Amino acid sequence: MMARGVSGSGTTPLLCSFFFISWLLFASSSHASSEALKRPPIVDGLSWNFYFSSCPMLETIVSRHLRKVFRKDTGQAPALLRIFFHDCFVQGCDGSILLDGNPNERDQPANIGIRPEALKTIEDLRALVHIQCGRVVSCADLVVLAAREAVSLSGGPRFPVPLGRKDGLSFSINGTGNLPPPFFRTGQLLERFGGRNFDATDVVALSGAHTFGRAHCATFFNRINQTEPPIDTSLANNLSNTCPSAQSPNTAVLDVRSPNVFDNLYYVNLKNRQGLFTSDQDLFSDARTKGIVNSFASNQTLFFDKFATAIIKLSQLDVLTGKQGQIRAKCSIPNSKNLVTSVVEEDSTAQM
């Protein structure tokens, strides 16, 4: 009788719905945790399920919006991944690349070609998330999530990323000099990344981000007549037609085989002397990295796994957590505008 009375009450569908949603969230959390066990350790203050209670729909909001964006503009996917890398490798994953200033990080030579449309997408994501959850999610975390989705929605791996970063209050003009230029040789790449605790496998995997997107003539013009590392004759001719000079505003695809898909064909390109940048092609010329290129070219699953591991490591560089930093109300401006400083300004003050 008791059971029949309960099943006939109006509250049962509500309770069932509640328990079903709770089970889904728990299952999702458990899956993310089990996947995370295979990944690198995370720094204090970050968590695989940081927004489980405060913004449980965060990743769904980000993914849904980016699907719409990429349907209209596939080029925003590699642009968002580039913003992530160029944020984290300067002074840590703190959203400093998003900050306005005169000058700012985006004005520097290493950041030529950062797409305004992709910056707007990150700000749009912030607005959507803050409407849904309040101001609990940082712009720095949204940069990381957008990069992960850019990879996944373009055919690449989907993997959990630790969250809980806070936004920085400053940007670093000098720090943009940490970004490795496209004319670096492998030894220089290994040294630059090695200083941040990345090994040769990490370097080759992260270079695989060049499996989609485009680059401006100035970044690869030196390759057209290059003999070491070698360049495919047909590619050189095509690039020469595209770029009559280094100052040409034209662009070329980074991956001649599948320019809009995140896959392992970038490494096949390198085996055929079709790497666009010197830093790309030299990976197949250097004995320390050639074997890794071969393994990724023949095994996409291996590449995806190593890429995910390297991205998770990269996403934890010098992060601000806990009481450090802030959660910006707008990604391009810190909450207290007068607190915005650049490293250049700080250095000049120190010298006075």
Best CA proximity match to 186, nearest among 304, 270, 90, 92:
270
Asked if residue 211 belongs to a known ligand binding site, the reply is yes
Contact (Cβ atoms closer than 8 angstroms) between residue 129 and residue 61: yes
Asked if residue 180 belongs to a known ligand binding site, the reply is yes
* Residue in this structure with the two tokens 């642009």, named with its chain if needed: 79
Give the sign of the dihedral formed by CA 96, CA 98, CA 101, CA 107.
positive
Asked if residue 130 belongs to a known ligand binding site, the reply is no
Asked if residue 65 belongs to a known ligand binding site, the reply is no
Catalytic residues: 86
Asked if residue 210 belongs to a known ligand binding site, the reply is yes
Best CA proximity match to 187, nearest among 69, 102, 279:
279
Would you list the DSSP string of 266-301? HHHHHHTT--SSHHHHHHHHSHHHHHHHHHHHH-HH
Asked if residue 282 belongs to a known ligand binding site, the reply is no
Asked if residue 285 belongs to a known ligand binding site, the reply is no
Best CA proximity match to 201, nearest among 307, 84, 298, 274:
307
Asked if residue 94 belongs to a known ligand binding site, the reply is yes
Q: How many CA atoms lie within 13 A of 69 on its CB side?
A: 26
Asked if residue 319 belongs to a known ligand binding site, the reply is no
Distance of alpha carbon 323 from its chain centroid, rounded?
24
Q: Which residues are documented as binding site for substrate?
A: 180
Q: Which residues are documented as binding site for heme b?
A: 210
Q: Which residues are documented as binding site?
A: 87, 90, 92, 94, 96, 105, 180, 210-211, 255, 263
Q: Which residues are documented as binding site for Ca(2+)?
A: 87, 90, 92, 94, 96, 105, 211, 255, 263
